[in-house]
């Protein structure tokens, strides 16, 4: 199974069709900030471009997408924010969109308590999915947390000033539930990789700067490539 994950699109979709292997990928994950303070119409434009290339899409909103985007993605049946998705019995995706509070008062921000509650509920849902599915598929199902905001105090949540601005709640749920992988974004200049205990953390940065992640799943093992 092959997954391509990207975020921080900000309406800049021209490079999507040039991503190697995107047409054949089993799943495309769009991890928030699809727009620049946009709503349904702007989100529709982004999704139309992506789905012309590959229709196997799941998505969630970021802090720069208006709250109506979450409802729109839910209506389309492709939303992952605050929920778990079991994909082909091979991987469980946990989504947490929006962000913690920023100095810019962007459209979709949450308190750390809100993030912790949303993430924990989604993980509990995912635990139940994998508990029921693993005996049927006779293999361990890896869990991927897709969080728009990165976990606090990592190399992938640092501003150029060196200040850490990630979410303490996201870090907390990673430490508690220990997913195999966390894909984040939000902090464009913090593109890179880090670890929290046994969980790999990846921030691909902005799409227009060439940032995306490829995840290959073979026999419950994840092979992650940061582009």
pLDDT tens for each residue of the chain, 227 residues long: 999 999 999 999 999 999 999 999 999 999 999 999 999 999 999 999 999 999 999 999 999 999 999 999 999 999 999 999 999 999 999 999 999 999 999 999 999 999 999 999 999 999 999 999 998 888 899 999 999 999 999 999 999 999 999 999 999 999 999 999 999 999 999 999 999 999 999 999 999 998 999 999 999 999 999 98
Distance CA 76, CA 34 (A): 15
pLDDT at residue 216, as a whole number: 97
Sketch out the chain's domains with CATH numbers. Answer: 2-226 (3.60.21.10)
Which of 61-74 are b and which e, b meaning 16 or more Cβ less than 10 Å from the residue's Cβ?
bbbbbbeebbebbe
As a dihedral over the C-alpha atoms of residue 147, residue 148, residue 152, residue 154, rounded to 10 degrees, the angle is: 90
Counting every residue, how long is the chain? 227
Position 227 scores a pLDDT of 84
Residue 108 CA to residue 63 CA, distance in Å, equals 4
Task: Specify the pLDDT at position 132.
Answer: 92
Helix runs in the chain, H state only: 40-53, 68-76, 112-137, 168-177
Q: How many CB atoms lie within 10 A of CB 133?
A: 15
Q: What's the Rg (C-alpha) of the chain? A: 16
132: number of Cβ within 10 Å:
10
Name residue 91's beta-bridge partners: 87
pTM of the model: 0.97
Helix H or strand E encompassing 225: strand 221-226
pLDDT of residue 91: 97
**∠ CA(165), CA(168), CA(169), 5° rounding?**
130
């Amino acid at each position: 199974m092959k997954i391509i994950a990207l975020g921080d699109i900000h309406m800049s979709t021209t490079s999507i069709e040039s991503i190697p292997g995107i047409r054949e990928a089993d799943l495309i994950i769009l991890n928030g900030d699809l727009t620049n303070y946009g709503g349904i119409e702007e989100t529709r434009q982004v999704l139309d471009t992506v789905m012309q290339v590959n229709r196997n899409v799941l998505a969630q909103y970021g802090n720069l997408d208006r709250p109506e985007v979450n409802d729109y993605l839910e209506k389309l049946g492709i939303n992952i924010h605050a929920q778990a998705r079991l994909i082909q019995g091979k991987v469980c995706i946990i989504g947490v969109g929006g962000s913690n509070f920023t100095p810019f008062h962007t459209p979709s921000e949450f308190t750390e308590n809100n993030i912790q509650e949303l993430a924990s509920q989604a993980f509990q849902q995912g635990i139940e999915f994998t508990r029921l599915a693993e005996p049927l598929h006779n293999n361990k199902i890896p869990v991927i947390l897709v969080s728009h905001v990165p976990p606090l105090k990592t190399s992938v949540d640092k501003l150029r000033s060196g200040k850490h601005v990630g979410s303490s709640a996201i870090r907390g749920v990673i430490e508690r539930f220990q997913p195999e992988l966390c894909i984040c974004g939000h902090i464009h200049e913090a593109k890179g990789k880090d670890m929290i205990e046994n969980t790999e953390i990846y921030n691909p940065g902005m799409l227009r700067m060439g940032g995306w992640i490829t995840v290959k799943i073979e026999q419950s093992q994840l092979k992650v490539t940061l582009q």
